[in-house]
Amino acid sequence: MTKLLVLDFDGTMTDAEEEGAPFRGGYLDDITALCGLPRDEVEALAVRFEGEVAAEPEAHGWIYDGQIVAPATVDPYLRIMPVARRILDHAGVFRDETDRTRLLDAILYKYNYQKTRDVPRGGAGEFLRAMAGRPVYVVTNSHTDAVQRKIRALGDLDWLVERVHGRAKKYVVDAAFEAVPEALTLPGLGRPVLLRRRLYCEALEALRAETGAAWEDVVVVGDIFELDLALPLAMGARVGLMVNRFTPPWETAYLADHPRGALLERIDEIPAFVGW
């Protein structure tokens, strides 16, 4: 029986491609200024490198602390990371890894995220309003206030606004966190899926304590398996992957055969999976 439903938000309750278009444009504007290259050249490089990433999705990813922590193809926010690195390499600037990571993740990402549009998936508002009175929470890497604003725009969801836990840092891997194995191997993916995401687990554990839910009573729904679902699945939860045309095939194949996994194409499929 489900006693706790945890939702990611961007890309799960929203159309990431539509809402992220201004993010991509703004990010490339800033890269242009930093590289000293013409804007049209930066755009051409971005398109070229996006094509290379799409052609070999398993070879690229979001690099954090020297490790790939998520695929690079699922949404505009992740796709820009390896592309920006390739453009900086091409221009020969910001070669120091610490400075580069701080620039790309801590500065440009946060600044340009503010430019995103609000584009909820079809049925998002109806679904969330129908969840009133249920133990539903949002745990997201995005800023709390930004997601709260998107939820308010859907109307009559003050109860959920107060349940948004932002900046969850699902991408942070802690090798000393031994509650789960170090990694998961997925057929078709030539690198490991790193599981030891202590900060994300602590956020989920706090919600379990608040609701009294055992791990087998938890359902997590997200659009990026490595960030949103791999850790809770390893802990014993059920997980639903909200797929899109960029979802990696190794993720869909793995969850299609997993007894605690589900592939979801529409928001109105969530209640049946949750059992509500």
| pLDDT (tens digit per residue) in 94-140 | 999 889 989 998 899 989 998 999 999 999 999 999 999 999 999 99
What pLDDT score was predicted for residue 58?
86
Per DSSP, what are the bridge partners of residue 71? 61
3.40.50.970, 3.40.50.261, 3.40.50.1000, 3.20.20.140: CATH of 4-16+119-274: 3.40.50.1000
Angstrom distance (rounded) from CA 98 to CA 202? 26
Q: At what angle do helices 16-35 and 76-91 cross, to 10 degrees?
A: 20
Tell me where in the chain the CATH 3.40.50.1000 domain(s) lie: 4-16+119-274
What pLDDT score was predicted for residue 133?
97
> What is the DSSP secondary structure assignment for residue 216, as one 8-state letter?
G
- Stretches where the chain sits below pLDDT 70 are none
pTM attached to this predicted model: 0.93
Q: Which two tokens stand for residue 89?
A: 């390499």
Angstrom distance (rounded) from CA 223 to CA 12? 5
CB atoms inside a 10 Å sphere around CB 244: 15
166 three-class SS: coil
Angstrom distance (rounded) from CA 119 to CA 127? 15
Q: Which segments within the chain are labelled E, that is strand?
A: 4-7, 61-64, 67-71, 136-139, 164-165, 183-184, 193-194, 218-222, 238-242, 261-264
What pLDDT score was predicted for residue 272?
97
